């Protein structure tokens, strides 16, 4: 058993994520001591009677912007209990695109703190000075970062040692080695006239491995040829933040 990963989720919608953490693999991972979850209500770090977390944008424009102070205070409080150097991850459609490789990187951390935005977004100073990373789960805009954080947490926690049953359960999955997984079948052998490929019934492990590898290659080429092309340069080296020179 490895060390326990501490995961903190700072959100104005705690109940949006609690149910998710109390089901299935997330629940089991916590019970096994692979991970400890804390859901932190951002409103507990406000100073006014109305517990307001947002304000009007400087320069005008529609909607409200989340204030920096509650996020800074919540991060400071979350840091306090855990080991040093947490990854503080601001969920943002403008962040580093989430990927299996990034999930594996985060699974090696000791402490992850997720900051979930709402409204028109979050005061930029949170990204500048409270967060170490900004992560996007895809090129679309959600109303809130809590579900986005849940997506990242799910992908990370299932990679922790001893969380999934079979040791190699994650070894051949999609996106390992930049490939999609081969097609999978279970019983019955013939379902409404749709037959399982004969090769899978032969018991010839070498032939099956070859078939699967070939299927994986063909499927990747047909569906996701972009995975086969290595980007020339990673614009997000080492963390989820752009170098400050590129941010201005």
Ligand X SMILES: C[S@@+](CC[C@H](N)C(=O)[O-])C[C@H]1O[C@@H](n2cnc3c(N)ncnc32)[C@H](O)[C@@H]1O
Q: Give least dist CB 135 to ligand X, A.
A: 6
Q: Give least dist CB 205 to ligand X, A.
A: 41
Judged by CB, which is closer to ligand X: 37, or 71? 71
Q: Give least dist CB 104 to ligand X, A.
A: 19
Q: How far apart are CA 217 and CA 178, in angstroms?
A: 10
Q: Give least dist CB 136 to ligand X, A.
A: 4
Chain CA centroid to CA 53, Å: 24
Alpha helix stretches (DSSP H) within the chain: 14-21, 24-31, 68-81, 100-107, 124-125, 146-157, 205-223, 244-247
Specify the pairing of strand 54-55 against strand 133-136.
unpaired
| Residue 188 preceded by cis peptide, ω within 30 | yes
Judged by CB, which is closer to ligand X: 101, or 199? 101
Contact residues for ligand X (CB under 6 A)?
91-94, 116-118, 120-122, 136-138, 140-145, 148
Residue 55, φ and ψ in degrees, nearest 5: -155, 170
With CB atoms as reference, the residue minimizing the distance to ligand X is 117
Residue 26, φ and ψ in degrees, nearest 5: -65, -45
Judged by CB, which is closer to ligand X: 68, or 145? 145
Residue 93 · residue 140 · CB < 8 Å: yes
Judged by CB, which is closer to ligand X: 137, or 163? 137
Q: Give least dist CB 98 to ligand X, A.
A: 8
Judged by CB, which is closer to ligand X: 93, or 104? 93
């Amino acid at each position: 058993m490895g060390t326990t990963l501490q995961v903190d989720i700072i959100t104005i919608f705690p109940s949006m994520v609690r149910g998710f953490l109390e089901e299935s693999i997330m629940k089991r991972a916590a019970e096994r001591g692979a991970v400890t979850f804390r859901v932190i209500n951002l409103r507990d770090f406000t100073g006014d009677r109305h517990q307001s977390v947002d304000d009007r944008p400087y320069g005008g424009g529609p909607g409200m912007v989340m204030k920096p102070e509650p996020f800074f205070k919540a991060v400071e409080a979350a840091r306090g209990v855990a080991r040093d150097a947490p990854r503080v991850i601001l969920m943002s459609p403008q962040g580093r695109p989430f990927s299996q490789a990034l999930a594996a990187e985060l699974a090696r951390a000791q402490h992850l703190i997720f900051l979930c935005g709402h409204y028109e977004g979050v005061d930029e100073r949170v990204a500048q000075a409270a967060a170490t990373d900004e992560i996007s789960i895809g090129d679309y805009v959600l109303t809130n970062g809590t579900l986005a954080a849940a997506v990242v947490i799910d992908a990370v926690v299932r990679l922790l040692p001893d969380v999934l049953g079979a040791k190699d359960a994650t070894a051949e999955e999609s996106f390992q080695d930049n490939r999609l997984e081969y097609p999978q079948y279970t019983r019955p052998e013939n379902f409404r006239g749709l037959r399982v490929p004969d090769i899978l019934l032969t018991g010839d492990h070498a032939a099956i491995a070859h078939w699967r590898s070939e299927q994986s290659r063909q499927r990747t080429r047909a569906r996701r040829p972009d995975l086969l092309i290595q980007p020339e340069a990673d614009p997000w080296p080492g963390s989820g933040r752009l170098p400050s020179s590129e941010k201005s």
